[in-house]
Amino acid sequence: MDQYTIKEIENLFDSDSKNGLSEKEAKKRLLRDGENSITSKKRKSILIVFFEQLKDPMVLILLIGAVLSLLLLEILDAFIICFVVVLNALIGTFQYVKSEKALEALQAMMQPTCKVIRNSKVRIIQTNELVCGDLIEFEAGDRIPCDIRLTSTTRLMMDESILTGESQSVSKTEFYRSTNEKTISEKHNMVFMSTYVSSGRGKGIAVNCGMNTEMGKIAALLNDDHEDLTPLQRRMNELSKILGFMAILICLIMMGVNISKGKNILETVLLAISLAVAAIPEGLVAVVTIVQSLGVNMMSKNHAIVRKLSAVETLGSVNII
């Protein structure tokens, strides 16, 4: 939207940079487009999130190992394996809950009311009643209610650190117009939802509302539950399959050899189970979980939220966020 002139924005949104929309038109657009708000998916219960952490193939193999250890009356081994599994699930659940709180924080950043011009008169309305095409006024101390293309400014300075991480205030002007695609910090003729007016005043036309705003895109990423596996997860899954196949194969071979030699069937089965338990690297999951937890802790100290523990592995080559 920063590439359009003010006149082109007026035509695009059928709006007026002096008089704003009519009340009738605003209500029609609100019914058509929905409220200007950050939405989230229905939250999963903590119990469901906890059990979802147990779907990993390596974890399933560990659980099988714990059951086999109990059958062999190896109580300590079974306890250690279960402890590792529960620890892994608890850490994953904690990270999920933490990301949900981050989404709630985004919703809380929206200012409850804002000033709009409708029917040529300034009105104070609920922020969620804003629609694209509304003409909005704001001044020092206000939070921006949606993404806005500026139409007039008076020494306007914006704090956009919530989006860009840049601590210094940015100067904004309606006269700027970009000629190609720009980053958020380079769009000097636009202001964005939840950013803060540090000084001056301005006026502009709403061009993006709700989940279509830059802040809404961040919320959508937090809402996203895509199941793409990281490279480490893929390798761990392959290792789990290989270990499982090899353990079963070795057990069958040992059972066949011992039975062919006429040895006791019960002792043969117990020996095979012992070999299967020994083949399961219960310490591997613990080591991977601890290393990933350390990575998550480092990220949290730098105010970066990691929703899934496994995602930390993909940041291995990142220097700056």
Residue range 203-243, pLDDT digits in tens: 999 999 888 888 888 877 766 665 666 677 777 777 777 87
**Amino acid at residue number 86:** V
Give the pLDDT band (50/70/90) at residue 73: confident
141: left (phi over 0), alpha (psi -120 to 50) or beta: left
Alpha helices by DSSP H, 149-264: 161-164, 214-223, 231-260
User: Which has more confidence, 303 or 130?
Assistant: 130
Give the pLDDT band (50/70/90) at residue 173: confident
Q: What is the DSSP secondary-structure string of 278-316?
A: HHS-HHHHHHHHHHHHHHHHHHHHTT---SSGGGGGGGT
Q: Write the pLDDT tens digit of every residue in 293-310.
A: 777 777 767 766 666 666
Q: Write the pLDDT tens digit of every residue in 26-55.
A: 899 999 888 888 776 666 777 887 777 777
d(CA 39, CA 223): 9
